[in-house]
Structure 1
């Protein structure tokens, strides 16, 4: 079971201004802005439930998944996966999960290009017909 209760997460991001003068000033007096990535998110996913986590860019999807995998800790709230805090039990938790972060432009360096294409075809549910057409535009494999 996945339980997300009132999690929030912010990031402190440097403000970048253009020009050499601003770059030098930033070395001595860097200014930051606070970005609210997650704001009081709560949900429960029962054991065995299959879900898709979708939303627009910047909605907090990757941040939420990173909290669920134990990569990040929420600023507030709690995340419990199968009775465990993923951040505090990261090693044990990592042995029992799998996550794929998809980018439409992503290829994997350690597998053949055609295997990357086929994996992405499945991840993004591209039809066989569409896949063959797009592949034919790239190369005569």
Structure 2
């Protein structure tokens, strides 16, 4: 898959005290989540309190960025700003157990299969933020020189 190094036109995320750590990590090409310091539950999207035990104490953990396609939908109308065609919105179940909503580009949605492996990659936006997206992992090389 080819992908331009920079994209533009997508609506910027709302960045506040609960989400700033996430977007700063994305700019550094890291996928992170909150982890409750009390009960160790991962949570995404970020929020002020743990939905499990209601603790306000949390820490940032780096995620592998690997997971499987849990669900997806294709948004045909209205056109989504920053996308050349229909937007593919995906729910990825990450190896660590939390789910993440993002998108895929440069793929025919008719070829997507629930349960197939995906990996995160990051696309800088002209407007000054970085979008985590998902793609199929690169095919492993056969190890045979040609």
TM-score when normalising by structure 2: 0.25
Higher strand share goes to which structure? 2
User: Who wins on radius of gyration, i.e. which is larger?
Assistant: 1
TM-score when normalising by structure 1: 0.26
